[in-house]
Structure 1
Amino acid sequence: MRKISFVLVILFIIGCTSNKKEEKSNIKPESTTAIDTAMVDHTSDQIISNEEKIEVKDSVIVTNKVKESETDIKVSKGREIAKEAKAGDKKEKKEITKGNIERVRPHHTIWNSLTKKHVSSSGKVNYNGFKSNIKSIEIYLSHLEVTPPKKDWTKNEKLAYWFNLYNAATIHLIASNYPVKSIKDINNGKPWDKKFIKSGNKTYSLNQIENSIVRPNFNEPRLHVAFNCAAISCPKLMKGAFLPSKLNSQLNMLSKSWITDSSKNKISENSIEISKIFEWYKVDFKKGIIPFINNFSTTKITPNAEIKYLDYNWDLND
């Protein structure tokens, strides 16, 4: 009897459990249908939103990868640049140590300013004015002393340097002794032999600059209008400094002014009375005196024209 009762209890429990499972089974399809309908009817935006989030998430991932990639490139390039810059700095420092002075070029600003102030358009020189500014001339000469020409300079840079140095030294020599009637009144009549012009570690005379440096080393007959001897018969002192970038036009301008000045050169087609400079330095005019003059004269001279030389006036050009 007890056994029968126990069996009945077990059967009852099994039956209840089965009913619960069936209930759950019956409820699940209805609940699932309700949820699916709700998602279709009410959460389409949420579905899109979820897709967007995925896309955004993917984009973020991609973007992060790109950013990481770009960063790596920049860092790598930065390291290369840093190495190059460091190497460049070492090289530059080494070059400067080896001799930065080789790259230094003189500035002619002081001389440019002084000549524009104390030289007239006709070539008259105010030596009193230069004397009042003699300290400025000395500063300029000191500047040229420490910036002597180097092998890597251009022809025009070298010529501009020597022309300006020669003229500034000449003016300084006269201003230091002014008033004088003529440059020949200085140094016992031999002002051009006085060694007082410093360039680098050497000291030169005016004669050495003109006849030992420039004339033998530069094929330039126009140099005779550049060097100023401070005399009335000399080509006029330029109002301004010689500049490498303008040197050719400056020499042409001075040459034309000198050749066409009837007080210094008298020119006609078949005869000419010209400066003694042409006689003294005939060897410098390799293509001939007449061809040189014809380059700048408004009157063309015949090849066989008669040539005479004018007396040279050594009075000061003041």
Structure 2
Amino acid sequence: MTSISFSMASSSSRLILSSFVGDCRIQSCPSLYFRFGYKPGTRDMSIQLSRTLCGVTDFLFNKRKSNGFSSKNLKRLGPGKVSPRLPVPDHIPKPPYVKSRQLPGINGGPEVHDEEGMKCMRESGKLAAKVLEYAGTLVQPGTTTDEIDKAVHQMIIDRGAYPSPLGYGGFPKSVCTSVNECICHGIPDSRALEDGDIINIDVTVYLNGYHGDTSATFFCGNVEEEAKQLVEVTRECLYKAISVCGPGVEFKKIGQTIHDYADKFRFGVVRQFVGHGVGRVFHSDPVILHYRNNDRGRMVLGQTFTIEPMLTLGSINPIMWNDNWTVVTEDGSLSAQFEHTLLITENGAEILTQC
């Protein structure tokens, strides 16, 4: 599930939100302190400066169109009917946040594991990968995202795990399905997939007390070449970023790698939603920025976190629907995302969410 969300309020203060929160463009967001008890410091000022400089890069290189997006005559998304929340058997262990509709606080420390923790992370990651692979086989014209959610939900509980998104801050479904211009956190509903759509499916499972988090973007039927390129470049961005990871490596290399590669194709890099630590808790430190930044943090042996770049054909500005979850591009341009959970090892980074 998408990480932690960065947003700019009208007062120009920087906010960090759980990526499973929204912010309407992203407006009317409660302050970071009141939401999570977190006070930004000088590190955040340097990130903000790098973000401003990134805006100059976007103006010069990325595919921004003043007259809106016009690549393909796809119909703009609209909300469908959301079915009732699916039950989970009582015997399946559930994460603590399920009992509350309030968003959990962000864990202030990184997820660093001993041998037993690594074993559990590998198991949860492997299950998440298998579920995502299965979900991808369901993508075809005429299938509703609600049907995908039901199938994913059943597969997860059949294996004794809990679908992490379900009940997270009140999220009503077991998986996120983000179609076309939806950047992230799309709620599965009655809308049927259409020929030419692209869809990101974001799967997180909670198994034996550990979360495994992954996502991929799939083609539905015959997809235009520009959309195919966006999806492929986004996938390549993820793997290029993974290749630079290892003990002692600065986290800013991830954002630099992704942004540099996306710029070659003039694709936009979404800023407001980022990667995150993951393990016993769903979202924890570190915050993984997918764009150029000055973060001085470094990776440590045994640490787990996600990388999950989101690229767009047009505007990188997000707008949130009234459901307080679904985030779409401002101009209706297509967006793609890929995500893996990683474990930092002596040899670099082990992908835990790979079949």
Q: TM-score when scaled to structure 1?
A: 0.27
- Which has more radius of gyration? 1
Name whichever structure is richer in strand by fraction: 2
